Amino acid sequence: MPSSPPVVSIAACADTIGARAAGHLDNLWRWAMRSQGGVADADWFRLISGEPHPLGNLAILAWDDHEAAIAAVTPLLSIAQPSAVICLHGASEHLAAVLAARGFQPHGAMPAMAVDIARLAVTPLPHGDMFERIATPAAFGEWTDVLATGYELPGGLSRMLSPEALGADPADDARIQFFAIRRGGRIVATSMMFIDDGLAGLYCVATLPEARGQGLGAHVTAEPLRRAQALGYRVGVLQSSDAGHPVYRRLGFQDVGAVPLFVRMPGG
């Protein structure tokens, strides 16, 4: 289990929760990709996987510092695949101009969200559906495939974020944990929980198209957090997509910040 003590509540760290929620994403990428090609220093993280998706070739900037940005993104300019820059603590006009000069265009901002886990809404599952922890290799490949389909990611990038690449420690307090919802014996929704910096973060929330609109995304988000609560964790965080934002708001999450995203599409 990570050594940082659990954050007691959102209110207890109201001045820093936005930065910590954004930084949680950086911590995940640094931890998950440390043996998969990730490169980092104190000011930035960079991954070049060659996968045909911006999240497969990205730089995460810890600060609004144009010199660090240039160092981080320059290697991305030589690849033929899409790439992205995530700015954890905002992007000034100057930084945006530095990125634009290198072909990175604004692509909105991901809401950084947090919830006091005790206040999560109830999330019933449809009759017959089963929530489970993914801990045996027999389910690893199926989990990866559902993430790829549900989140529209290349299979190779999905694998880098999956138990196939990261393993699945079955301990209750494992730092990274994988979950799924099964319907008729088949995985139809996925999520990953990463425990770090006193927070429980949710990632890789995906539902197959034919199973959407039935509360599965809400449950596969909330139930891992309830398990984290049993370990003493009190606050959950995530970075939301546009589609997921209303779901998370109904669950009880609140916006605590915004993480600007810039995307470069070679030839576009």
pLDDT tens digits for range 150-205: 999 999 999 999 999 999 999 999 999 999 999 999 999 999 999 999 999 999 99
| Cα 18 from Cα 255, distance rounded (Å) | 8
pLDDT for res 158: 98
Nearest CA among 57, 36, 54, 35 for reference residue 46: 57
Per-residue tokens: 251: 């669950």
pLDDT tens digits for range 224-245: 999 999 999 999 999 998 889 9
Answer yes or no: do 120 and 252 share one domain: yes
Answer yes or no: do 218 and 246 share one domain: yes
Give residue 235's domain range: 115-256
| Alpha-carbon distance values, 162 to 180, 208, 215, 250 (Å) | 12, 16, 23, 27
pLDDT for res 3: 62
Nearest CA among 233, 204, 189 for reference residue 32: 204
Backbone angles phi, psi at 158, to 5 degrees: -60, -40
| Alpha-carbon distance values, 31 to 204, 221, 240 (Å) | 15, 21, 20
Q: How confident is the model at residue 268 (pLDDT cuts 50, 70, 90)?
A: low
Q: How confident is the model at residue 4 (pLDDT cuts 50, 70, 90)?
A: confident
Question: What CATH number is associated with residue 222?
Answer: 3.40.630.30
Determine, yes or no, domain membership for 1. Answer: no
Checking if the pLDDT of 1 tops 60, the result is no
Answer yes or no: do 237 and 182 share one domain: yes
